[in-house]
Amino acid sequence: MEIAMVPKELWKPPNELDVQKVGNVICSFLDTVSTSYGRATHYNTKEEQQKAEIESHNTMLGFDRDLYIVFLTLPGITDRSVQMGMKNLLSSQRNGVPTSFLSSGQERTVLYYLIKSIPPPRMLKMVEGLRVGSEQLGLKKANNARTRKLILRTLLSTGRLELWSVKYRKKMKAALTHAWGQRKASIIREILKRDERLWNPKEQSIIQKSVNKFCVSSRVKPIYECIRFIFGVRDRVTLTLFREFERAKVDLHEGKHLPREVLEGIRSTYHKDIPKDKVLEAVKSSLTTQQKMAVQKQAKAAGIDIAMDPRNYDPIKLYIYAFECGLTDEITKALDEKARKAASALPVHYKKVGVVVDVSKSMEGDGTQKLRPVATALAMRDMLQYVGEECQTVYCGGDMTDERLAKPQGATGLAEKLVQVLNVSPMPDVVFVISDGYENAPAGRFAEVVKHLNEMGIKVPIFHMNPVFAAETGKARELAPELVSTMPIQQPAAMGPAMLRELVQHDPIKGVNMLLHIALKAGSNELRKELIHA
Amino acid sequence: MPRTLTIEEILAGVGFGQPQTVGNMSVLPIIDEDGSAQDDDWAPPDVEVGTSHYGTVNMRNRNDERPTIVPTGAGWVTQQHAQDHAIPSAVLMEAKGTKSVDVACCIEESQGGFISRGAHEMLIIPASMRPSALAKREVKEYSKLWGEIQALNRTTGVDRSGGHLVYFLKHFQKQLDEFVAEFELVPKQVGAIVFVGRRVAGIERAPNYAYWEKIWIPLIRVCYGSLAIMHAKKWEGKYGHRLPLESQSKTLDELVAALNDLRAREVNMLRDRFEEESKRQIKCANAEQRLSTAELQTFASEKLCGQLVVDGSKATYPYVSCSCTS
């Protein structure tokens, strides 16, 4: 195996800290942020999941704030983890806590990068949570100047403000009111109602400090109109979406550029006699990428053709879609391309790779995450085909009618499959076992076999990749504790960081710096330039 | 007329799958590979349940087209401020039918209130209580299982006393949920032989695949999961069915052979234990309920007691549910 060398050492642990402890804290945090959705799994309640998450975040933040910040930009971190991380950072001070290599300005840069990386509905929900705290999200209150500036910069400088104003207007109103304060928001609304040529110097100053400062100067007029729209002022509309919003109330077909849910809302209020399918037909050209996937079934049933480009979706979503609607050649091609690309970004390469894929019944997942574990497993399997020059794959359980789309079924006998994948000539250089960690044919046999292999002198490294975070252990469930490294993985892009876990355990300085390198390479351009290329 | 037969006769026409073993519990799936033993006349149990008096459970079969069998020991623990209840005996219900069981058991001693009718999630009472519940199935006394529930809580170290099954369920929620993840449904499964420790703990057989899929989680989670927990408390997790891998293999081919051999020995161990039980005579009491050509009968052998449904028109036993008596 080869690992790319890190060009620059950014981080060193404090001298007084035990190397082992450093590795444990960081690995536990990485496990959490790469697999936890805060929802129930097949095995744990939602409350248990959330408690384990909060603890993991607090430990890491208390350990090293800068590592905490940058690790949130690693590929494969869940949106939920980013939300939680942001809230923790915004509700806590930088002064007087362990930090190592970032300046305050650089922390702000990362925070801005992170808030933009979350999908808008989640970002707005997080902003709402900042105001009042959200027990459900495990979030503390963060109502300070720094937070307010971040919110305003994010909302007012986005190139999608017109769309967000019409699609999320209530949440946008709440977010802007939070950032400005109730009183100032009212004042701004009243000022913007009037022609700007009539503003007095004090009003100009208010708008300059509260609005213009956060956006590009050439775009202030549309931004004023967006703010007016958000706060319910609907005269003097010039922007396309706002005009369509008003006109669609009279003639539904005038709303063809509106978001689907907005036009559906107008239909259900003003045009109850028009069937829902008409909305889909009207807006099909303006559907988001995610919506195009979500409505395929409905569209087909209604005879509406909505083109969906599989290249725009992550491989896990594609597999979940394929389980429901079938696997087309186009989807297969997109999956292969993504797998190749993900494999090329890994910091390691092998000659021959062995893969054991658990497709037993429990990989079906829980109601709220139905089919996600097996979809993740299949996406990982695809990527691993390109990690070595040669690859051999075996399956444990599963309906193998279509091997590409193996369906969860049957019991879990991983031990025999491990031996099977090794018992070939030449033997693989590495074996990856993709499984939720629940074994029953019988339980414990896998660990016995690994121990036996070691005694036989077979030293092929074995990695267990687990797409499920189990709250009862505070990490992903292990198949063979102390014998096999278990890496929690939610998507192929997260594999690079996951593969470095072992390095983090045994050589934290090297491992952590490698992780930082990956995070900075994938994250903010500005920070990458400042920290890597400086 | 009471009669005798054997479990082997009852399970004629079905086969067995590969066993699953986790800790001290093993499951040997009963498989109907070609579907020839399926009885699709019975719908999976999907009932609306409510209580109107303490000790009275009112049920409605939500399936409009097919009758169903509400399993032996079915129970309902709800979030309502109402007394949880269970029924000691299985109930045959016609399509869209309603039934009131006035010999039901309260399983939440000091909680008052009646359960509002709804499609509440069903459990099956701990296997350790089923023989006692069956023995008292015709007794009109809603407190008849409180002693058993108290004993369960006490022996498993639940730190609250009283005839509240929900105390046990909350105390061991994590372990019970894990059983569901650990023991997986396999294709064509219509039943299971459950072993706890080194004994047959129960034999379950459903009329068809869909029925089995519906009752599997209630069975493995609370009914048999509770037994595994009790056993583990008593024997500290010993006496499971996993034999140690003590191979001297020097090559992978030898290791494969060793694993196959080990597996075969584990399977044979389970099957031998079951075979011993399957050949014992069981005595069936007279039919207690009838629905068309089907009859519900209660039976007992030296070590097992339970219920079965016999369909005279087909000479089959679409339903069997029994647990060990000690």
What CA–CA distance (Å, rounded) separates A274 from A271?
Answer: 6
Backbone φ and ψ for B259, nearest 5 degrees, come out as: -65, -40
Asked whether the predicted pLDDT for residue B298 surpasses 90, the reply is yes
Among A397, A411, A443, the residue with its CB nearest the CB of B23 is A443
Residues in chain B within 8 Å Cβ distance of A444: 242
**A440–B186 CB contact, under 8 Å:** no
Instruction: Say what the pTM is.
Output: 0.81
User: Letter for the amino acid at B201?
Assistant: A
Determine what percent of chain A is predicted with pLDDT higher than 90: 48
The CA distances from residue A244 to A211, B189, B204, in Å, are 25, 57, 63
Min Cα separation B259/chain A (Å): 7
Residues in chain A: 534
| Chain A residues within 8 angstroms (CB to CB) of chain B | 42-45, 48, 360-362, 397, 399, 409-413, 415-416, 419-420, 422-423, 436, 438-445, 448-449, 452-453, 456, 458, 472
Asked whether the predicted pLDDT for residue A134 surpasses 50, the reply is yes
At A202, is the pLDDT very low, low, confident or very high (cuts 50, 70, 90)? Answer: very high
For residue B221, the surrounding DSSP H or E stretch is none
Among A48, A410, A416, the residue with its CB nearest the CB of B259 is A416
User: Letter for the amino acid at A446?
Assistant: F
Backbone φ and ψ for A232, nearest 5 degrees, come out as: 85, 10
Asked whether the predicted pLDDT for residue B197 surpasses 60, the reply is yes
**A442–B22 CB contact, under 8 Å:** yes
Ranges A268-282, A401-415, B79-93, B140-154: which has the least confidence: A268-282
**B259–A409 CB contact, under 8 Å:** no
Taking the alpha carbons at both ends of chain A, their separation in whole angstroms is: 30
What CA–CA distance (Å, rounded) separates A414 from A450?
Answer: 11
> Directed axis angle between helix A104-117 and helix A79-90, to 10°?
140
At A369, is the pLDDT very low, low, confident or very high (cuts 50, 70, 90)? Answer: confident
What one-character DSSP code corresponds to residue A217?
Answer: G
- Whether B325 and B312 have beta carbons less than 8 Å apart is answered as no
- Whether B163 and B141 have beta carbons less than 8 Å apart is answered as no
More confident residue, B94 or A529: B94
Q: Which residues contact B39 (CB under 8 A, 6 or more apart)?
A: B207, B208, B311, B314, B316, B318
β-strand pairing of B25-31 with B47-53: unpaired
- Whether B30 and B190 have beta carbons less than 8 Å apart is answered as yes
Asked whether the predicted pLDDT for residue A141 surpasses 90, the reply is no
- Whether B113 and B312 have beta carbons less than 8 Å apart is answered as no
Measuring CA to CA, which residue among A429, A425, A427, A410 is closest to residue A357? A410
Asked whether the predicted pLDDT for residue A159 surpasses 70, the reply is yes
pLDDT of residue A470: 59
Select from B25, B252, B265, B267 the residue whose CB has the most chain A CBs within 10 Å, as the one to mutate to test that interface: B252
pLDDT of residue B320: 92
Residues in chain A within 8 Å Cβ distance of B250: 456
Asked whether the predicted pLDDT for residue A396 surpasses 80, the reply is yes
Residues in chain B: 326
Q: Which residues contact B69 (CB under 8 A, 6 or more apart)?
A: B42, B45, B90, B91, B92, B93, B207, B211, B296, B309, B318, B319
Backbone φ and ψ for A458, nearest 5 degrees, come out as: -90, 110
Tell me the average pLDDT of chain B.
92
Segment of A65-69, A92-96, A473-477, A488-492 carrying the highest mean pLDDT? A65-69
Q: What angle do CA A374, A380, A383 make, to 5 degrees?
A: 145
Dump pLDDT digits (tens) for B112-152.
899 999 999 999 999 999 999 999 999 999 999 999 999 99
Look up residue A37 and give its two tokens: 């959705």
For residue A261, the surrounding DSSP H or E stretch is helix A260-270
pLDDT of residue A97: 67
The CA distances from residue B59 to B49, B133, B284, in Å, are 5, 19, 26
Residues in chain A within 8 Å Cβ distance of B255: 419, 449, 452-453, 456
Asked whether the predicted pLDDT for residue B105 surpasses 50, the reply is yes
Residues in chain B within 8 Å Cβ distance of A445: 242, 245, 259
**A456–B250 CB contact, under 8 Å:** yes
pLDDT of residue A42: 46
Residues in chain A within 8 Å Cβ distance of B180: 42-43
- Whether B324 and B202 have beta carbons less than 8 Å apart is answered as yes
Backbone φ and ψ for B51, nearest 5 degrees, come out as: -120, 145
More confident residue, A502 or B197: B197
Min Cα separation B164/chain A (Å): 22
**A419–B252 CB contact, under 8 Å:** yes
Residue B43: beta bridge partners? B68
Min Cα separation A240/chain B (Å): 49
Residues in chain B within 8 Å Cβ distance of A45: 173, 177
Enumerate the H helices of B39-90 as residue ranges.
Answer: none
Asked whether the predicted pLDDT for residue B179 surpasses 60, the reply is yes
Other CB atoms within a 10 A radius of the CB of residue A11 amount to 16
- Whether A386 and A376 have beta carbons less than 8 Å apart is answered as no
pLDDT of residue A518: 80
Look up residue A317 and give its two tokens: 């979503």
pLDDT of residue B192: 97
- What is the pLDDT averaged over residues A236-256? 92
Dump pLDDT digits (tens) for A422-434.
999 999 999 999 9
Rg, chain A, Cα only: 26
> Directed axis angle between helix A508-522 and helix A19-35, to 10°?
30
The CA distances from residue A166 to A180, A194, A242, A266, B3, in Å, are 20, 21, 7, 12, 75
What CA–CA distance (Å, rounded) separates A229 from A234?
Answer: 6
Sign (positive or negative) of CA dihedral A104, A109, A115, A117: negative
pLDDT of residue A44: 52
More confident residue, A102 or A48: A102
Q: Which residues contact A448 (CB under 8 A, 6 or more apart)?
A: A415, B244, B245
Asked whether the predicted pLDDT for residue A342 surpasses 50, the reply is yes
Dump pLDDT digits (tens) for A173-187.
999 998 999 999 999
ipTM: 0.91
Measuring CA to CA, which residue among B57, B176, B160 is closest to residue B109? B160
Q: Which residues contact A138 (CB under 8 A, 6 or more apart)?
A: A38, A50, A53, A54, A57, A84
Residues in chain B within 8 Å Cβ distance of A399: 187
Ranges A439-448, A477-486, B58-67: which has the least confidence: A477-486
Asked whether the predicted pLDDT for residue A35 surpasses 80, the reply is no
What CA–CA distance (Å, rounded) separates B289 from B129?
Answer: 22
- What is the pLDDT averaged over residues A208-234? 91
Partner A contacted by B50 (CB < 8 A): no
**A410–B250 CB contact, under 8 Å:** no
Tell me the average pLDDT of chain A.
86
Closest residue of B to A472, CA-based? B174
Measuring CA to CA, which residue among A151, A157, A152, A79 is closest to residue A119? A79
Asked whether the predicted pLDDT for residue B59 surpasses 90, the reply is yes
What CA–CA distance (Å, rounded) separates B302 from B278?
Answer: 11
Residues in chain B within 8 Å Cβ distance of A459: none
